[in-house]
Structure 1
Amino acid sequence: PRPQDAFNPPVDNSNTPFRPKLGHWVRREAAVHPLEAALNDLKYEDKQLEAPEPQLPQGLDETPLTYVDTLDGLKSLAQALSAVREVAVDLEAHSFRSFQGFCCLMQVSTRTADYLVDVIALRSHIGPHLAPMFADTKIVKVLHGSDSDIVWLQRDFGIYVASLFDTGQAARVLAYPSAGLAYLLSHFCSVKADKRWQLADWRVRPLSAEALHYARLDTHYLLYIYDCLKVLPDHLQEEVPERGPATCMGVVLERSRLLCLQRYEKELFSETSYLDAYRRCQEPLTREQLAVFAGLYAWRDRTARERDESTGFVLSRALLVKLAKRAPSNARDLRAVLGKWVPL
């Protein structure tokens, strides 16, 4: 069985606009970002702007690691996080066997402890228990390359983020050779990340010791990297932030604030959606072939929504074009085009 088959409430793949999970928010209008007003009026505390001496993290062996997969464990985590001033967060997600994708694991690190949260097992409880911490403007949330994480948190848990510091944005402002986390881990911590796990199937339970180790590394050193990146030069090159101090730190904080204002939007199908896909495929089609392409594109979208699979799993773009060009008229010819491996 697939994890999403047990989700309660079930995933809504209907061809209608996304309705966020706002049951734990005072403002519950579907089209409203609950933190929009707070983010537009965000003020930074002096401590958030200071650049103290970077605080070296404890070694992995000396740092407690807690795997959270029970409600009591989640409540304990929420209580612990409410008492910190900064927290590092990352997410591992899966998209190939799901129409919209879903989060599988949340990594959380404080200055003294690491946590790995099974957000598949605790999916319906994550928002009510962790949303207050993510929304607290006095707690800095440190994420790396958070563009996707911000909207994934909204999509799956109704969590919205304030007081974000994106270390990827800081690396870009400083014009480092790379803005990737692997580079920052190597540069500041002499740690080499194993890139093989970037394509891992994070739905698998139980997760292997190697997978847990890789996931832990994503946040264990992130607060130290955050400390190092806060020692930003005071001058600006070209960009002037709309809010906050007119410094490189201000640029990073403003970019991070704008990331928090993103809203998750479900992909919607229309009668002309196939045209965007056709332009991307860069394959010339006749008018008749394009009509076949449009019909197949609509079938693929409908099937993916109904079965909660990605459109690429249902039918790859390459096969979509191939079928449109050949337009097989019987089962034998269809099998010849599709080849040996056909998921559906």
Structure 2
Amino acid sequence: MSLITETAELEVLCGRLAKADFITLDTEFLRDSTYWPKLCLVQVAGSDHEAAIDALSPKLDLAPLLALFDDPKILKVLHSARQDMEIFFHLTGRLPAPIFDTQVAAMVCGFGESVGYDTLVRKMTGAHVDKSSRFTDWSRRPLAERQLNYALADVTHLRKIYRKLAARLAKSGRAAWLEEEMAVLTSPETYRLEPENAWRRLKTRSNDRRYLAVLRALATWREEEAQQRDVPRGRVLRDEQLFDIAAHRPTSDAELARSRGVSKDMARGRLGRAILEAVGRALALPDTELPTPPPKGSAPNGAGPLIDLLKVLLKLRCDEHDVAQKLIANSADLDQIAASDKADVMALKGWRYEIFGRDALALKRGAVALSARGNKVRLVNLKEREEAG
């Protein structure tokens, strides 16, 4: 079993991999008790060899591997790449490129919604992935052979999966569809965790701009605190605590201590003072600087039947083109399409428009209709029918 623990060994491996057209890549990391992911192991494979790289070894510098990731001539193949990409972006400020995400490619090729790696291995190679080491503590050393076998399986089967998916994409002419998705995964903006934008991830239905200003200030402070201490956000304050404090807007430690989950000692201490300062800054903002409520994407009253028709159309078109519905549109997208022909959603752009968006707008205008015969649903062009009649 190949476990690389020294830089010299890594340089030899990367020299071999540098000759490949593509490499497969995966990581094992921990994030239960930290804000930033702790990289423990990197698995890579070329056409005929593979290795696990001990990212925690004091004798190893990842520089040769990171240089390989920067090589534009070598395609990096991953499955469900976002978390792996985030790790390397945080580590270096750069992203491996170009990449090929087999989970996204599988959705383009009709394997369903967010298909798991073990399912894809079974369907495309006939092999079985032993998941008994799924919950391994990857920071503990030494690693057992069983654990290394599990880790390397995440890149060895990926070679055959990539070749088969690439062949399907080439045959169907859908390679460009995948390129759009890879552009998102290789954009630094996808992985930048700016504290001032943290509030946008919180799910709130309030349109009260002052409430949102307090929530924004609290979320910004929590993000900065979590990043600085390298602890999960919830270790600083849970989301429900942010909502409660933003709603009651305490101005003293006594008022803060009445908030959910905030003790008197906490209210009087460093964290309490920081929370009150954040609340105070938000309360002092002029109305012109208050945040605008994020768009809800909710459909107009009475649009329920139209949304139901759009859902049927989406399923019909995705079944016809053998592509996962999730890749085209979600429920929020359909709500926005029902509300506006100019909705800023991916379903009305590029190849998604060709498959679904154009017909969705035509359905809204009454230019086409859905018809059922037996157990079959089809789209009827009403204009062509009128001209024929």
Q: CA deviation at 1:77?
A: 1.6
Secondary structure of the residue aligned to 1:206 is coil
- Is this contact kept in 2: 1:150–1:262, CA < 8 A? no
* Alignment check: 8 A CA contact 2:88 2:94 kept: yes
Q: Which residue of 1 is the match for residue 83 of structure 2?
A: 148
Q: Which residue number in structure 1 is paired with residue 175 of structure 2?
A: 249
The answer to whether 1:276 aligns with 2:200 is yes
In structure 2, the residue matched to 1:304 is 226
Task: Note the 1:79-90 alignment, pairs <5 A.
Answer: 79-90=15-26
Match in the other structure for 1:131 = 66
Aligned to 1:177: 112
Q: String of CA shifts for 1:189-226, please: whole Å, max 9, x gaps.
A: 33444557555543333344443332111101110111
Distance change in 2, residues 1:284/1:201 (3 Å): farther
Q: 2:192 aligns with which of 263, 266, 276?
A: 266
Partner of 2:103: 168
Contact between 2:95 and 2:188, CA under 8 Å: does it hold in 1?
no
1:201-212 aligned at under 5 Å gives the runs: 201-212=137-148
Matches within 5 A, 1:212-251: 212-232=148-168, 236=172, 247-251=173-177
| 1:337 match: secondary structure | coil
Matched, 1:100 2:24: no
C-alpha deviation, 1:108, in angstroms = 0.8
* 8 A Cα contact 1:164 1:253, kept in partner: no
Is the 1:234–1:248 Cα contact (8 Å) retained in structure 2?
yes
* Long gaps (5+) in structure 2: 272-389
The alpha-carbon distance between structure 1 residues 319 and 202, as it changes in their structure 2 partners (threshold 3 A), is: farther
User: Matched residue of 2:100: which SS?
Assistant: strand
8 Å CA contact 1:97–1:310 kept in 2: the answer is yes
Q: Which protein has the bigger helix share?
A: 2
1:303 Cα deviation (Å)? 2.7
What RMSD over aligned residues (CA atoms) do the two structures have, in Å?
A: 3.9
1:71 aligned to 2:7?
yes
> TM-score if structure 1 supplies the norm length?
0.61
Distance in 1, Cα, partners of 2:131 & 2:205: 31
Cα shift at 1:130: 2.0
Q: Which amino acid aligns with 1:101?
A: P
Per-residue Cα deviation, 1:1-48 (whole angstroms, up to 9, x for no partner): xxxxxxxxxxxxxxxxxxxxxxxxxxxxxxxxxxxxxxxxxxxxxxxx
| Equivalent residues of 2:244, 2:259 under 8 A apart | no
Distance 2:13 2:97 in 1: 19
1:68: how far off? Answer: 1.2
**Identity within the alignment, %:** 24
Post-superposition Cα deviations, 1:226-274, rounded to whole Å, max 9, x if no partner, equal 12223316565xxxxxxxxxx123433564355334456532233xx57
- Rounded Cα–Cα distance in structure 2 between residues aligned with 1:269 and 1:234: 41
Corresponding residue for residue 324 of structure 2: none
**Which structure ranks higher in relative contact order (CA pairs < 8 Å, sequence separation ≥ 6)?**
1
**Cα drift, residue 109 of structure 1:** 1.5
Q: Secondary structure at the match of 2:20?
A: coil
> CA offset at residue 159 of structure 1?
4.8
Task: Check whether the contact 2:199–2:215 (CA below 8 A) recurs between aligned residues.
Answer: no
Asked whether the equivalents of residues 7 and 60 of structure 2 are also in contact (C-alpha less than 8 Å), the reply is no
Is the 2:118–2:128 Cα contact (8 Å) retained in structure 1?
yes
Counterpart Cα distance in 2 of 1:168 and 1:277: 24
Quickly say closer, same or farther: Cα 1:315–1:72, change in 2 above 3 A.
same
SS at match of 1:145: coil
Number of the residue aligned with 2:340 = none
Q: Is the Cα–Cα contact under 8 Å of residues 5 and 60 in structure 2 kept in the other structure?
A: no
Q: Distance in 2 between matches of 1:173 and 1:274?
A: 31
How many residue pairs get matched? 262
Of the candidates 44, 53, 56, which is equivalent to residue 117 of structure 1? 53
Partner of 1:337: 261
Tell me by how many angstroms 1:67 deviates.
Answer: 0.8
Work out whether 1:318 is the aligned partner of 2:240: yes
Displacement after TM superposition at 1:320 (Å): 3.7
Whether contact under 8 Å (1:269, 1:301) holds in the other structure is: yes
User: Whole-Å Cα distance in 1 between the matches of residues 171 and 2 of structure 2?
Assistant: 41
Q: Which moved more, 1:261-270 or 1:223-232?
A: 261-270
CA distance in structure 2 between the aligned counterparts of 1:224 and 1:275, rounded to whole angstroms: 42
Give the greater-gyration-radius structure (CA): 2
Query: SS of the counterpart of 2:44?
Result: strand
